[in-house]
Structure 1
Amino acid sequence: MSGKNLSIMLCLLLLLFLTGCAATPDKRIDSRIAPLEEQVSLLNARLMARDSEIDNLNRILGEESEEKGKLLEIISEQESQIKKLTSYMESRKGREKNKVYYSSVINIQAALRNAGFDPGLIDGRMGERTRSALKEFQQARNLPADGRLNKETWTLLQEYLEEKK
């Protein structure tokens, strides 16, 4: 072999040797990178799972907000109905109060008449004749005779509510 061939051979061997050495560090780097790539892959999977959880929570919050809005609307409607009913009941209470008073005075007048005292016309009005009969009833029962109905007077008058037969 000539010197020229020998030098080409040596260059090729040197080149081969240098290329082989360069491949060896790549394998070392690859062996270090592989676990890191695995960790990155795991972290990516976790991140995707968290993103999915966040999306689900946002969806749930959106649904809850809608439900909350609907519930607030229902509550508002119910409050409106309660106000209407309260107003209606207040107006009825006034009428009922008058009915109770009227029927109470009728009962007082009937009891006075049944007890033998003249309240005048039984008309549901606490007039002068009813007060006078009430005063007479109170005097006859040794009660303070002021012509006003108190608990003690009413207790005694109730015995005369039904006509004696």
Structure 2
Amino acid sequence: MGLLGLFTRRPHERAGFALYGAAVGAARQPVYFARLGVPDTLDGRFDLVSFHVALLINRLRHDSDPEGPKLAQAVFDAMFADMDVNLREMGVGDLVVGKRVKKMWEAFHGRAAAYEAGFESGDWAALAEALSRNVWRGEAPEGAPAELAAQGGRMRETLASQPLAALLKGEVHFPPAPPEAAAA
């Protein structure tokens, strides 16, 4: 690789970061923490981001256009580049960052597979159980995992309805989490 290769962007890199940023923004909606009781911790935030990103990547991976899976990879790459930067900013040493990112990568893949299995089979109880196990570490407020699973269904439908052309530009819309009044 020549010197210029160091300065070239990978295909879809900019769009991948934009889509990842949108997923992070959607995962930070206060209702998840205030009403659903998602722990406002590094783990809790990681799990919500993972859920949103997994849904986005799933949508892109299953697109009939060959650019969809390439964009899915760009979103994944953006997520773990961000995780690396965040760990370094938190003061994690260079020798440990790689190991921590690898653990996060493995955790993400396990969660994404469990969520996809629940969606693909239509087994909402299994999806809620996976969310309870991962997001709340098995100690979820009553009804919260089922509500987050239903929100995931809404997100999945919304993502499926968005054209790949917009996603390739880094434009995505996540539905807002239902406000407290809607749950009553």
Q: What TM-score does the superposition give when structure 1 sets the normalisation length? A: 0.21
Higher Rg? 1
> Higher relative contact order at CA 8 Å, sep ≥6: structure 1 or structure 2?
2
> TM-score, normalised on structure 2?
0.19
